[in-house]
Chains A and B, each alone.
Chain A
Amino acid sequence: MNPLRKVAAAVAVVATVVYVAATAGPKYGPPPTVYPIPAYSQALNKAIAAYEAQVGPNAPKAAAEAGGIRLRSVGFEFPTEGRAFPPGPGKEVMAGNCMSCHTPGMILNQPALTRAEWAGEVTKMVKVYRAPVDEADIPAIVTYLASIKVAP
């Protein structure tokens, strides 16, 4: 770096520091002109590689860059869940209806609820969140849920 540019860089740093120090609350600074792009973490590199594997080697420009920040397109695959429901009457109808929107952990991690609370949850899922459950299946689903976790 030539001496003039060094001076200019030092002035820019001081100006930025003064500007930031004089600003209360959030630090509003001018967009930096020279901003080293940090090495990507291993996790980010993996996500970039996953994206590139998904779109193939001839994919179009996969980054956005300005003002010294470069964002890279990323991809991944959802892990699957291995948890199983305990046996009981209504298990199949419950699993067949409920697992399209969420995995078993959502139910298995719930505390014990009263039968009325379980009925309320199932009704909410159907009426509010539009779970595609046949009205006729609701009692069996509630019975199964209450059978695995019920509060007095």
Chain B
Amino acid sequence: MHDGMALGRRGLIGGAAALGGILAAAGARADTVTLGLNGGPEQRSLTSAFPQKGSMILQRTRPPLLETPFEVFDQGVFTPNDRFFVRWHWAVIPEQVDLATFRCAVRGHVNQPQSLSMADILALPRVEMAAVNQCSGNSRGLFQPRIAGGQWENGAMGNAKWIGVRLRDVLDRAGVKPGAVAVRFNGLDEPVVAGAPDFMKSLAIDHARDGEVMLAYQMNGEQLPLLNGFPMRLIVPGWYSTYWVKMVSDIEVLDAPDDSFWMKSAYLIPATPHADVKPGQTGFPTEPINRMVPRSFFTNVTAATKVKPGAPVPLRGIAMGGDCGVAGVDVSTDGGSTWQPAVLGRDEGTYSFRQWTMQVAAPASGTLMTLVRCTNTKQVAQPMEANWNGGGFMRNVIERIVLAVV
């Protein structure tokens, strides 16, 4: 186990001081945050300069990469829209979206190509689903050895109640022809440089028509913030966010596999258990990243939290099953030799975050090390060892936190 696995943030978590044996941590400056990225740089600015966004960790201004400050996840299983993470690939993003002219094409291998306004979309049968949206590279900054790319800590994820329409219903309006194999999605964003690969992603036709994949126009009861994909984005429950195309304006049914850049050459993972390879290893098969894996986090304590000798320590956090539900969350205080089941909070749906709570006891002196592990309903549990791959994708190692007893 390497040090990067420890939850290393040193910010003050609001309210933590009021809980049981937990003592107040040292406060951090309000305009910066220190991420636990081994080898640095660890400092980031907090910014409220982005439209429809509150205080966010500034990873990059343009194209925007905004990370959710982790204490937000302690406030409930749904991530407020104004704190929801933001990730764009290309800097040409429309600075306005006019619903009078916005249209989404449905074309390609279909009987009747469509050009749909948002009013057309709103008139289709409405569905609602809670689902976690997590960046493929969430937690990339915690990989050892480090990897170039967006240097996220754990906040490139969020959970929302999505309201919109089934993709299947939209495809049925156009009438998918026999022989269709995939559906490709493109949004209003564009590369800065001519000839650079426009950001597009595709799903296999059966996946696209499974009745779960959605086009959402509302999250948590309000229209999507522009930076989260207004006027609508794809929701691919249980799959990484790279597929959740924002500002969807073009849906193309393909009669051959999608061999465009963002499917064929980017977001590839090693086709190995846990997408794990050794640094420098070559010659392994790869595949497009796809289903998410289980994760769980502490939300009411950080590495800066101190506890009283012998005191009860209430722990709380969130878990996700990945591509299925959460079966259980277990906590260990002996380095993973034995595990105790945590109490699970309300089930908001298969693909939602689920809150967990647990009370442990602090030792008389030294440190209290706790581990948290999610097992999903497919009986897949988080691993003890961190994975590594050259993209910095799919981290889901068991989180551990070491609290000082004082």
Contact = CB atoms under 8 A, between A and B. Distances in A.
Interface of A: 25-32, 38, 40-41, 43-44, 46-47, 50-51, 54-55, 59-67, 69, 71-81, 100-103, 105-106, 108-113, 117, 121, 128-132
Residue from the set A26, A61, A105 with the largest chain B CB neighbour count within 10 Å:
A26
Interface of B: 37, 39-41, 44, 47, 49-54, 58-65, 81-82, 90-91, 93, 95-100, 117-119, 121-123, 125-129, 141, 146-148, 151, 163, 166, 191-197, 211-212, 217-218, 221-223, 225-226, 230-231, 237, 261, 265, 349-350
Contact of B52 (A44, A59, A71): A44
CB-CB nearest 7 A-B residue pairs: A76-B51, A75-B96, A66-B122, A64-B118, A81-B61, A111-B146, A79-B49
Given A60-B100, A103-B61, A109-B59, A47 B151 contact: no
Contacts of B122: 64-67, 69, 71
Contact of A101 (B47, B192, B230): B192
A51 B163 CA distance: 23
Contacts of B195: 130
A137 B47 CA distance: 34
Given A79-B49, A111-B146, 20 more contacts: A30-B126, A43-B82, A44-B52, A47-B51, A47-B226, A64-B117, A66-B122, A71-B118, A75-B95, A75-B96, A76-B50, A76-B95, A76-B226, A78-B64, A78-B95, A80-B61, A103-B60, A109-B60, A109-B151, A112-B39
**Chain B interface secondary structure, helix, strand, loop or mixed?**
loop
B95 A111 contact: no
7 contacts: A43-B81, A61-B99, A64-B118, A73-B99, A100-B193, A112-B146, A130-B196
Contacts of A28: 125, 127, 166
B172 to A, nearest CB: 15
Q: Which of A28, A59, A117 gathers the greatest number of chain B CB atoms within 10 Å?
A: A28
Contacts of A77: 51, 95
A16 B62 CA distance: 44
Nearest to A131: B193
A43 B58 contact: no
B217 A71 contact: yes
A73 B59 contact: no
A54 B95 CA distance: 9
B49 A76 contact: no
A29 to B, nearest CB: 7
Contacts of A111: 37, 39-41, 141, 146-148, 151
